[in-house]
Amino acid sequence: MRRAGASAIVLALCAVSVAAQSSISLTALDRQTVATLGSLVVNGNGFDPANAAISVVVAPRGGVAVSVPAYFANAVALKIVVPPLVETATSRLFDVPVVAEVQVVQVSATAVVTSNVLGGLTIEPAPSTSAPPGALTKAWLLLTRDVQGILRAALAANPRFARVVDRSRALDAEWQAMIDVATAIAGDPGRTMTLATTNGDPFVVTSDALRVSDRIAYAIAKEVSAELSAVAGAAAAAPAAVTCPPTTGDPQADQMFCSLHGYYDPLATRGPAMIQTGAALAYGMPLSVLGGQAAAGIGAAGIVSEATATGLGLAMGPVTSHVSAYATGAALPSAGSTFTDLGLSILDNFTFLGLPITSGINAAVQLAAEYEQAANAPNGPSATVPRQGVVVAAPPQRVPANTRPVIAYQGLGISSTARWLAAAGTQQILPILSVTLPPPEIARFNGLYSGSVNGSCSSPGEATVATPGAVSMTVSSGTIAITSGGTGSGTVTASGQVSSGAAAVAGATCRWGGRFWADDAGRAGALGSWSCSITGATCSGTWNVKKQ
C-alpha cells in the first residue's frame, strides 16, 4: 500500500507540473512539397527549446513514421531536414512522391506534449541513379575526405580547434575503409564485405545497401548545393572554380558533387550568410539521418530490410562529420550541444538494441562533439537549438490506442536517460510517468523461427561465390539455439539485441549479430548480419527469420 501511495503522490506532483505546461499547436508548413533531405519549417506556438526535447514526427501514407529532431527552434517555428522514408510494402526507400502527416512531440522533465496534426505534405523521393551501386557513395566519401583535409589545413594554426583537427585526422582511415568497400562492390556487385563495428558484430555491406546510401548521398549533395546556391546568388558569392573529372557514371550526380566541392573550397571565403546557412543545414542533416536510422533499424525491424537500415548507417558517419566543416568560417556560428550531450549515449543505446554501429559513425560523432565544444566556447550553445535531448522512434511493442512508441534521450553524458514513451497521436499534455512504457518482456520472442541466409565468399584471385541457404532456430527465455543451417547458440535481450556465441557452418568459424522484433499483433522475427573465416577465404552476409 505504501508503494501505491507513493506512486499516487508522484503522479499528483507531476499533474501539478503538467498543469503549468503550455500546449503546442501547429499552424502551417512553409511549403507543401519538399524533397527528401530538404529543409522544412513547421510554424506553430508553444515550442520550448530551452527546456524540452523537440522532434517532428513525419508519418507517410503506406510508410514508416520517423521522428526527426529539430535543428532550429524558437517559440513559434521549428526547422527539420526531411528524413529518408521507407515504404512498408517494399521495405525500401520510396521511389515515388508520398503524402505525409506532420506532428510535433515535445518532452520535458515532467510531461510529454503532442501537437495537432497537419496533413497534405508531399515528399519527393530521394533521387535514383543509373550509376553502379556504390559509385555515388564512393564520390560522397571522397568529397567528405577532401572536406576534412580543407578543415585541417584551415585550422592547423588555431589552438582553439586543435582537438577538432586531431579527431578529423583520425577519421581518414575510417573513410578509406568505406571507400575500399564501395570500390570493391561497385566492381563486383555480388560481393559482400564487412566494416568494423564498436562491439565486434559484423556490419555487412552489400550492393543493395550501397544503392540506399547512394541515394542518400545524392540527396544530400543535391539539397546542400541548392541551399548554398540560393544564398550565394543573393550574396553574389559564386562557388570556387573546381575541375572535377567524371567519377560516378551519372553526369548529373557528378555535377552535384562538383558543385558542392566548389562551395567548400575555400569555405572560409564564402561570407557570413553562407556560413550560417550551411552550418545550420549541416547540423540538421545528421539529425535527419539519425531519425531515419532509428526508425529503419530499430522501430520497424520487421518491416524494413537489413539493406535499407545498413544503407542509412553507411551515410551516418560522413554526414555527421560535415558538421565540423563550418569551423573554417570567418564568422563561425554557435551550435547546439546534441552530440556532446547525447551522441555517444544514443549510439550505445542503438548497439544495446541490436543495431550495429560502425567505428566510423562513432568517430564522426566524437568529431561533431569536439566541433560543438570549440564553436560554443565563447558564448555557449545556440539559443535556437533544442538543448534538452532528442526524440526518435522506439522499437514496436504494445502501446495504447492512438499512440506511437518513441524514445526520449535526455540529460548529459553518462547521466543521460533513454525513456520509452507512448506519444499520443492527438494534441495532448500528459505526465511523463503516465506514458512511460514498461520494460518489454523477453518471453515475447519465445518460439520457432525459420528463414534464409544470404551472402558471398571471396578469396584472392578467385571469383565471388554466392552462399544462399536456409536457417532455423529456437528461442526460449532469451536463449537462442540454431537447429538447421549450421550449429551455434546465442542470447537475445528483452530489448531484442542478439549476443551470439560461436557458430559453425561447413567447418568455418562464424560470428553473427542482429536484433529480434515483435509487434503488437503477436508477430515476431529477427534479422542481422554474419561473417565467417575459413582458410583462404572470407564470407559474410545477412540473415532473416520469421516466427512460425
DSSP designation for 265: T
Q: Please provide the DSSP assignment of 321-350 as one string.
A: HGGGGGGG-TTPPP---HIIIIIHHHHHHH
Asked if residue 383 belongs to a domain, the reply is: no
Asked if residue 381 belongs to a domain, the reply is: no
Q: Are strands 497-505 and 77-81 parallel, antiparallel or unpaired?
A: unpaired
Q: Do 182 and 278 belong to one domain?
A: yes
How far, in Å, CA of 190 to CA of 159, rounded? Answer: 47
Asked if residue 232 belongs to a domain, the reply is: yes
What's residue 176's pLDDT? 93
Q: Do 189 and 284 belong to one domain?
A: yes
Q: Do 238 and 372 belong to one domain?
A: yes
Asked if residue 430 belongs to a domain, the reply is: yes
How far, in Å, CA of 412 to CA of 404, rounded? Answer: 25
Give the tens place of pLDDT for each residue, 317-326.
888 888 887 7
**Nearest C-alpha neighbor of 66 from the set 43, 44, 47, 88:** 88
What's residue 6's pLDDT? 44
Of the residues 327, 353, 376, which one is the last residue of a structural domain? 376
Asked if residue 264 belongs to a domain, the reply is: yes
What's residue 35's pLDDT? 96
Of the residues 435, 455, 472, which one is the last residue of a structural domain? 435
In the three-class reduction of DSSP (H, G, I as helix; E, B as strand; rest coil), residue 222 is classed as helix
The number of beta carbons lying within 10 Å of the beta carbon of residue 529 is 25
What is the reported pTM?
0.87
Q: Do 170 and 87 belong to one domain?
A: no
Task: List the grid coordinates of 491.
Answer: 542470447
Q: Do 454 and 353 belong to one domain?
A: no
Q: Do 277 and 196 belong to one domain?
A: yes
CATH number of the domain to which 462 belongs: 2.40.128.420
Q: Which domain holds residue 528?
A: 442-547
Q: Do 334 and 201 belong to one domain?
A: yes
Give the tens place of pLDDT for each residue, 98-152.
999 999 999 999 999 999 999 999 999 999 999 999 999 999 999 889 888 888 8
CATH number of the domain to which 39 belongs: 2.60.40.10
Q: Which regions of the chain are under pLDDT 70?
A: 1-21, 232-242, 265-272, 274, 293, 295-304, 329-332, 396-397, 413-415, 463, 500-502, 504, 506-507
Q: Do 222 and 296 belong to one domain?
A: yes
Q: Do 321 and 404 belong to one domain?
A: no
Q: Do 367 and 397 belong to one domain?
A: no
Of the residues 416, 435, 454, which one is the last residue of a structural domain? 435
Q: Domain count for the chain, please give it.
A: 3
How far, in Å, CA of 240 to CA of 490, rounded? Answer: 55
How far, in Å, CA of 251 to CA of 244, rounded? Answer: 11
Q: Do 305 and 397 belong to one domain?
A: no
Q: Do 234 and 285 belong to one domain?
A: yes
Task: List the grid coordinates of 145.
Answer: 575526405
Task: List the grid coordinates of 20.
Answer: 503549468
How far, in Å, CA of 369 to CA of 41, rounded? Answer: 25
Residues 6+ apart with CB under 8 A from 130: 249, 250
**Nearest C-alpha neighbor of 68 from the set 77, 76, 89, 78:** 78
**Nearest C-alpha neighbor of 393 from the set 483, 330, 254, 300:** 300
Asked if residue 80 belongs to a domain, the reply is: yes
**546 touches 450 (CB < 8 A):** yes
Asked if residue 14 belongs to a domain, the reply is: yes
- What secondary structure, in 3-state letters, does 115-150 show? CCCEEEEEEECCCCCCCCCCHHHHHHHHHHHHHHHH
Q: Are strands 66-69 and 53-60 parallel, antiparallel or unpaired?
A: antiparallel
How far, in Å, CA of 448 to CA of 358, rounded? Answer: 31
What's residue 237's pLDDT? 57
Asked if residue 382 belongs to a domain, the reply is: no
In the three-class reduction of DSSP (H, G, I as helix; E, B as strand; rest coil), residue 249 is classed as coil
What's residue 268's pLDDT? 54
